Amino acid sequence: MASKLVRQATAPLRPMLDLSSRPGSDSESGSNHFLAWGSRTDVGLIRDHNEDSYLCRPPLFAVSDGMGGHAAGEVASSIAIHAIAQEAPAHADSAGLGAAIEAANRDVISAPEQGRGREGMGCTATACIIEGDKMAIAHVGDSRLYLLHKGTLVRVTHDHSFVEELVDSGKITPDEARVHPSRSVITRALGSDPDMYADHFTLDVESGERVLLCSDGLSSMVPDSEIEDICVTSASPQTCADALVSAALIAGGHDNVTVIVVDILNDGKEAARSRKRRNAVLGWLAGFVAILAVVWLVGSLIVNRSYYLSTSEGYVAIYQGVEGDFLGFPLSHLQETTSVEASQLPEAVQTQLASGITMDNLDAANATVNAYRKQIEEAARKAAETADTLKSSGDASAADKDAATAASDGASAAVESPAPDAAASEGGAAPQEGGAA
């Protein structure tokens, strides 16, 4: 609760009595997945015996304040609590819980005839059953039930007492009722009227709320504002119960005081929401699986009738199905790896093979592979012919080149070594020039 945290931070430290070793003081606490509870009953500072009885049997909780003196009040409250425990419904049924208190009334009335207690003994009874987001309540007398909702304490029950009637009529205030001399006069209780009936009703509750049941030993000694402050600032139910009883004792402890504090941990709404979400998810999954089944069926028909060409370890391969996968499942499988090397095909074809070339059927795939094979064979044949041609052309060119080289060499020799006649002509010319001179 956000308000609880704020109040915890600002609330002043409150004096606390050590009740753990105090004679005449007992407690009980526990928890389960839905509820956590703590309780404390104390004889008080004036009385010499405790006439209060209480019950913590989740989801049932009850408080009873006995009347009639020693060996009477405690007997009446004990009989009432035992009867409520036996007769209360298993679920949050307020009418059934009211009937359990009415059965307890009959048991208290008949007890003296059976040698238990005394004539005229009686008691109050306030009980609740907390189940999920419902709380069934039934009560008779002036023992109370409060609900702490989002940091605000609300008194749920209406006292069956003389001073409460005065408050209802506007003659006194609630604070005046706490100190009124007739505050102990009860107008309805167990043990006197066989036709007595219990008030009963049902409240909606939710996770994070705190329930308080108490005898008038608390409410007559501690104002509601202080009860609220203690309920808001106490971390656990047992801490809260101890603090409330301690406050009643510090205020005077004029009566027995019994307190039960119950925290609603889980009202079941989240579980219901989780179930709804889970059912929605399961429904969605069922629909999704059905769609997948249809898609898979249609896909299988398409896959089984489809083929494409790609590569496998460097060779052209035929695949049945379609290229790719669906949700991680491959949509094809290798049908056949051919003897055609992909590297011998044109680069454009190799690029297409890398992406997959769709074929209408297996015959078309085989025909395409055969065409590739013929293209490669034809290319190889042409390459061989070209090589032979180049070789033949190379031999002829070499022969012509040799002949040309020889002729060139002869001509060079003729230039370098002139014929004898030419030499003589050149030699005879000199004397003529000399003679002329």
Q: Specify whether 321 is located in the same domain as 179.
A: no
Q: Which parts of the chain have pLDDT scores under 70?
A: 1-13, 269-278, 280-281, 292, 295-296, 298-303, 394-437
326 domain-assigned: yes
Domain that holds residue 124: 2-267
Instruction: Please identify, among 267, 283, 314, the residue that sits at the C-terminal boundary of a domain.
Output: 267
Residue 278 lies in a domain: no
Contacts 24+ apart (CB under 8 A), 101-105: 101/125, 101/127, 101/138, 101/139, 101/140, 101/190, 101/198, 102/196, 102/197, 102/198, 104/79, 104/80, 104/190, 105/80, 105/140, 105/190, 105/191, 105/193, 105/194, 105/196
pLDDT for residue 288 = 74
Q: Please indicate, yes or no, whether residues 259 and 314 belong to a single structural domain of this protein.
A: no
Report the C-alpha gap between 181 and 288 in whole angstroms.
Answer: 74
pLDDT, residue 206, reads 97
Encode 22-37: b = buried (16+ Cβ within 10 Å), e = exposed: eeebebebebeebbbb
Residues 67 and 181 in one domain: yes
92 and 167 assigned to the same domain: yes
The rounded distance, in Å, linking the Cα atoms of 398 and 402 is 6
Global pTM reads 0.64
User: What is the number of domains present in the chain?
Assistant: 2
pLDDT score for 273: 60
Residue 399 domain-assigned (yes or no) = no
- What CATH number has the domain bearing residue 89? 3.60.40.10
Residue 380 maps to a domain:
no
Integer angstrom CA distances of residue 355 from 302, 311, 351: 19, 10, 7
- List CB contacts of 43: < 8 A, sequence separation 6 or more: 23, 24, 25, 49, 50, 256
What confidence tens digit (pLDDT) does each residue in 126-139 have? 999 999 999 999 99
User: Is residue 184 a part of any domain in this protein?
Assistant: yes
Residues 350, 248 share a domain: no
Tell me, yes or no, whether 116 lies in a domain.
Answer: yes
